[in-house]
Amino acid sequence: MLKWDYTLYLVTDRSYIGDRNLEDCVEEAILGGATMVQLREKTASSLDFYHLAVKIKGVTRKYQVPLMINDRLDIALAIDADGLHLGQDDLPIEIARRYFGREKVIGISVSTVEEALLAEKSGADYLGAGAVFPTGTKTDAKLVSLPELSLIKKAVKIPVVAIGGINETNACDVFHTGIDGLSVVSAILARKDPRKASAEIKARITG
């Protein structure tokens, strides 16, 4: 039985892992405390994305952690992912929902209260709000201050996770805005020991 827990939501980016294998890094992150995984591939071919998604699903299934696919409805359908995460430049949620089904989870990236309200109204199951700090993963991301993050959380009923430059140093401050979880990329994947990195962030917010 899949455990839906947004507390520590790993978003992948293979540019941080060097010659390590993504499945191993994801498994280590889960063992350290990651509660959700989003597979994000911006340059892979569709076939490579699909094959990688099949492998990562093998890992997330083992631990009953939900696997979300970033952007690509086709890949989410192909591997029967648990969910799909849509940015503001991805397919409209109404279209994704038509093919992906009511029982699946769809998240939307937002950076304002307005976008958050619109996303909730259009049927999003959760929101990814950010970037809370400048980030190397998405250099063009709009910034969302901690007070704005708190306003976004208060404006909607669905879960809100924060994303963008979150690491063990700022995790506690971000989490205490009242949100449901933290999305982390480099502060887990760029570290030599993703398990330890996950455990450290997890301890700061649940300890």
Write down the catalytic residue from 72, 97, 104, 138: 138
Q: Does 122 bind a copy of itself (CB under 8 A)?
A: no
Tokens in use for 36? 């959700």
For strand 8-11 and strand 36-39, is the pairing parallel, antiparallel, or unpaired?
parallel
- Determine the straight-line distance between the first and last CA of the chain, rounded to whole angstroms: 25
Q: Does 101 bind a copy of itself (CB under 8 A)?
A: no
Q: Is 109 a catalytic residue?
A: yes
Q: Does 58 bind a copy of itself (CB under 8 A)?
A: no
Please select the residue that binds a copy of itself; options are 77, 151, 172, 203, rule is CB under 8 A.
Answer: 77
Question: Exposed, middle or buried, 206 (CB in 10 Å: 0-12/13-18/19+)?
Answer: exposed
Please select the residue that binds a copy of itself; options are 10, 73, 93, 161, rule is CB under 8 A.
Answer: 73
Please select the residue that binds a copy of itself; options are 74, 114, 173, 193, rule is CB under 8 A.
Answer: 74
Q: Does 89 bind a copy of itself (CB under 8 A)?
A: yes
Q: Does 78 bind a copy of itself (CB under 8 A)?
A: yes
Tell whether residue 150 is among the known ligand binding residues.
no
Query: DSSP string spanning 43-66?
Result: SS-HHHHHHHHHHHHHHHHHHT--
Which amino acid does the sequence have at 130?
A: G
| CA dist., res. 199 & res. 202, Å (int) | 5
Q: Does 88 bind a copy of itself (CB under 8 A)?
A: yes
Catalytic residue positions, numbered = 40, 109, 138
